[in-house]
A and B are shown apart, each in its own frame.
Chain A
Amino acid sequence: MSAANAVAAILVIGLTMYAVFGGADFGAGFWSLLARGERDRRPRELIDWAIGPVWEANHVWLIFVLVYLWTGFSAAFEAIFSTLFIPLSLAALSIVLRGSGFAFQHTARRAGGRALATLAFGLASVLTPFFLGTVVGAIAGGRVPTGNAAGDPVTSWVNTLSLVTGTLFIATGAYLAAVFLVSDARRAGAPDLERYFVRRALVAAFATGALAAAGLVALHADAPVVFDGLKGDGLPLVILSAACGIAVLVLLYRGARRGTRVLAAGAVAAVVWGWGVAQHPYLLPPTLTIDDAAAPSATLTGLLIVFGVAVVVVLPALGLLFTLVQRNLVEEMPAPAQGGAAQ
């Protein structure tokens, strides 16, 4: 594998992490937005408990992707961020709104302020993945030419493929979050919340599947390069994704919870990799290839070394943290369903 391809693969790894972990975060915000009435107070509490004081650490993955993109493939970064100025600005603004909303939700004294913060958090959780999805749709659809704002500022991302992809991103996050929340509800010992989120996971799964199918139709019409790639080299991954998705449905339906989270994450990861494989060797179809856009070799080597160091250094640190977190989980299980939350 050439150094350029290796860096491109690292980019896809980063995108996968962001899609799964960031997606689940956004999805949790989506469900908290829908669960607004008094009747839905407990699900909302479960969501709060599940997201916990995480805040915006998942943006590490996004920053990682941006840095590797602009360093490894500067020309592609320039093209994407200038042509897609509007959706990317809106995504950045939504990220600020989300951070602000989430922080305030936990510190606001008055109910009114808290409700407003929750609303901001929920809305931003829907808008961010939507705009990022339109960006992916624009790239796949070949609407991002190289150069400084060389593409159309509006139609590049306001088109069927982009809008379907944006909606698909929301649905994917909602699906992931619902599957994760089923397990959280179980851990919290709340069978009613478990049923609540199983229903929603099933709905979200069907919505995601339908949107994915619509996305394929749009790709066929709009993005021949990617569509052909999905029919060709990407096909095994598409099948894998569908298989994981169906397995989750079956498991949820039968009430067996073990493995649902891994399978749901696998379904999403397989789609991301399917897209990457389908688009290969193009970074910006139909013209800019990975090799065209690649940085000089010393830079690519630097990126690969840094990635290697990151794996060696960061993983043990994460392991240490995970051990502490597990100990915390074992020692105390403060969940909304235990006693207090029923009032």
Chain B
Amino acid sequence: MLILASNLAAARGQMAFTLGFHIILASLGVALPAMMLIANYRGLRHDDADALKLARRWSQAVAVTFAVGAVTGTVLSFEFGLLWPAFTGRFGQVFGVLFAIEGIFFFLEAIFIAVYIFGWKYLSPWAHFWSGVPVAITGLGGAFSVVAVNSWMNQPQGYSPSTGDVTSVEPWKVIFNPAVPYEVPHMILAAYLVTGFLVASIYATGMLRGRRDRIHRLGLLIPLTVACIATPIQFAVGDSAARAIAKDQPIKFAAMECVQQTSTDVTEYLGGRCTSSGIKGGIGIPGLDSFLVGWSTSTQVTGLDSVPPDDRPPANTMLHLSFDAMVGICSALIVLALWLGVVWWRRRDFPQSRWFLRATALSGVASVVALECGWIVTEVGRQPWIVYNVMRTSDAVTQANGVWVTFALIVVLYVGLGATLIIALRTMSRRWRSNDAEEEVPYGPDTSPPPTVAATSR
């Protein structure tokens, strides 16, 4: 039993680590092509050479991050079997079609990234722009498919019987499960928000170092505008998601807010430490939690005591603080968006103060932290279930020994992979600055020839 318990901890650790890594690359894969296309459109529409240059550079960054994301995605597909064989063995036939659909989107995205990169040379400017549009669309489709699987784990339906071997599946009910309407938009907006702030933060850092040319200004403004539009929408979507979770997954919500007893007029706590006797520390606002759930302080909020201790999520303090951090960062980013919006409205330019650049430079890391916190909330908050109220994570985990070993090796290799990616991107950026030579990138035509597909077709 002890060995099994530790196997579960190792498997959860490995899954959290590899997914936490992949989710950043996946967000870039979803949203960076859109930034690239906006720059491309601007370049063509307004005959703006700087914008075109940005589009070309970002297309190279898209190719590099996509290639690394393909590797980390491959690892995740292995982990469905290596870590959670009993989960996939029972429910793979239920949720798997979504991954098959995702496969099409992934394949198309890979192909059109290559087409777009080759297209810089061989397509007319507008045809080239349109060849990039499928990249952004397939990114959205892929995000939908993958997040829909996670939504299904939160709100399982569309299969029977409810226990034992699955003998019938209703794919539409699986695909459009009740958590999809709030979880999918929340993740897609998160991808745009994170990518926007991350890219903007890189250019803001450059400007703080004195590089104030037009490329940097545009490179800051395009992604920052996208992110600043996405942020308030995200706040509203996240707010309605929290209300839906209070209804659909009340125990997750209780853990997020540290609600011990089911009651009305529940206090909303910001920060603090969760204990079984209630929250310690933190700022309490009486009645607000009930109000947020049902627009009235008399709304009843389900507490953790409504289920046996074995059915409650672990690490309540971490969950609560992750939720608060996510909401807090999103609120701070809204302030940044307002700052930009007001100054732009009055002066048709972004704020020139160093404080604005500093805040923008910080926003990239902050948004990644918010992304990871949100992921923690939804995943740890679902525990001890891998399929909510249907299958326990401890029943899904592999009986094979040695997960601690693979976890350790994965961490080492991913540190290498992450370092490689950052070095590759930095090398590219240095070359961009020193000259405008085209780069050798995955899927690209320049120094050497065909991408896979050429190899595959000859």
Contacts and interface: CB of A to CB of B under 8 A. Distances in A.
A130 interface: no
Interface stretch (B27-35, B204-212, B368-376, B421-429): B421-429
A57 B64 CA distance: 12
Contact of B91 (A74, A106, A322): A74
A99 B400 contact: no
Interface residues of B, number: 88
Interface stretch (A163-171, A270-278, A313-321): A313-321
B420 A52 contact: no
Interface string A62-92: 1110111011101101111111011011011
B93 A54 contact: no
A89 to B, nearest CB: 5
A83 B400 contact: yes
A81 B85 contact: yes
Given A74-B96, A104-B420, A310-B103, A318 B453 contact: yes
A56 B81 contact: no
Interface stretch (A31-39, A217-225, A279-287, A295-303): A295-303
B108 A56 contact: no
A109 B426 CA distance: 12
Contacts of B402: 85-86, 89, 153
A235 B170 CA distance: 41
Given A59-B70, A96-B410, A261-B458, A327 B114 contact: no
Contacts of B89: 74-75, 77-79, 148
Interface string B83-119: 0011011111110110111111011101110110011
A313 B440 CA distance: 28
A103 interface: yes
A338 B314 CA distance: 64
B74 A299 contact: no
Given A53-B440, A77-B92, A314-B104, A328 B457 contact: no
With a 10 A CB-CB cut-off, give which of A96, A322, A326 has the most chain B CB atoms: A96
A55 B443 contact: yes
Contact of B99 (A55, A67, A79, A103): A67
Nearest to A153: B400
Interface in A93-120: 93, 95-97, 99-100, 103-104, 106-107, 109
B121 interface: yes
A59 B107 CA distance: 10
A296 B119 CA distance: 43
**Interface of chain B, main secondary structure:** helix
B454 interface: yes
A329 interface: yes
B299 to A, nearest CB: 39
Contacts of A49: 448-449
Interface string B118-130: 1101110000000
A70 B119 CA distance: 37
A329 B81 contact: no
A24 interface: yes
A237 B119 CA distance: 41
B169 A296 contact: yes
B452 A70 contact: no
User: How many of chain A's residues touch chain B, expressed as a range?
Assistant: 35 or more
A327 B110 CA distance: 19
Contacts of A48: 448
A322 B82 CA distance: 36
B381 interface: no
Given A77-B85, A88-B78, A298-B171, A314 B107 contact: yes
Given A52-B448, A54-B442, A56-B67, A149 B400 contact: yes
Given A63-B77, A325-B118, A325-B453, A53 B441 contact: yes
B406 A96 contact: no
Interface stretch (B218-226, B236-244, B273-281, B411-419): B411-419
Nearest to B428: A107
Given A62-B74, A82-B399, A148-B399, A74 B93 contact: yes
Contacts of A89: 78, 82, 402, 406
B73 interface: yes
With a 10 A CB-CB cut-off, give which of B88, B92, B169 has the most chain A CB atoms: B92
Contacts of B131: 320
Contacts of B114: 321
Nearest to B119: A324
A206 interface: no
A306 B122 contact: no
Contacts of A81: 78, 80-82, 85, 88, 398
A309 interface: yes
A82 B449 contact: no
B92 A328 contact: no
B420 A77 contact: no
A70 B80 contact: yes
A86 B405 CA distance: 10
B82 A88 contact: yes
A235 to B, nearest CB: 29
Given A59-B70, A74-B88, A85-B402, A93 B409 contact: yes
B420 A183 contact: no
A324 B421 CA distance: 27
A60 interface: yes
Contacts of B417: 96, 99-100
Contacts of A295: 92-93, 96, 166, 169
A68 B101 CA distance: 11
B168 A298 contact: yes
A255 interface: no
B447 interface: yes
B401 interface: yes
Nearest to B405: A89
B71 interface: yes
B415 to A, nearest CB: 10
Contacts of A196: none
Given A296-B166, A306-B101, A57 B108 contact: no
B159 to A, nearest CB: 8
A58 interface: yes
A334 interface: yes
Contacts of B1: none
A314 B450 CA distance: 18
Counting from the closest, the 7 A-B pairs by CB-CB distance are: A81-B81, A71-B96, A78-B89, A295-B93, A85-B400, A74-B92, A149-B399
25 contacts: A50-B449, A53-B442, A53-B451, A63-B77, A66-B81, A67-B99, A70-B88, A71-B97, A77-B81, A78-B89, A78-B90, A81-B78, A81-B88, A85-B400, A99-B68, A99-B71, A149-B399, A298-B169, A298-B171, A299-B93, A302-B97, A307-B100, A313-B104, A318-B111, A320-B111
